[in-house]
Amino acid sequence: MEKDFNAVIKAILKENPRFRKGAYHFVREGLDYTMRNLHKSKVLGQSRHVTGQQLAHGMRQYALEQYGPLALTVLNYWGIERTNDFGEIVFDLIEFKVLGKTENDQLEHFSDLFDFKEAFEKPFQPNKKDKSRLKPPPPSVSADQ
């Protein structure tokens, strides 16, 4: 399957080189990750269908776990800069018959679900309470004074 998936990505990139190859692998892995987590939490039940919103939030969590503070940098390198880009990649994979969709699925379901910069940077920023502990010590008094 990996070879077939790489051939599909090559065909997609020939038509639309907007995203890098890694973006498609990330979305496929992010879908698997999201489905596993939704099944574990019993959200999906017997269904194998994930909504655009569920997938975008699952891919956010997957990116944070995989790349930590570099998640935004990695995604941006691949050309992914907003949740709409997740949708465009998903719909590229649907068009090339790698993924399926229901009649209710729409690209707009991925539209502006969260702010990328905040979603990928905020988890790694110290909170205000921590900053108070980081104040520099008062200047030391020398024995000469």
pLDDT tens by residue, 4-36: 999 999 999 999 999 999 999 999 999 999 999
For residue 47, give the nearest of 35, 55, 60 by alpha carbon: 35
The string of pLDDT tens digits covering residues 65-114 is 999 999 999 999 999 999 999 999 999 999 999 998 889 999 999 999 99
pTM: predicted TM-score of the whole model, two decimal places: 0.81
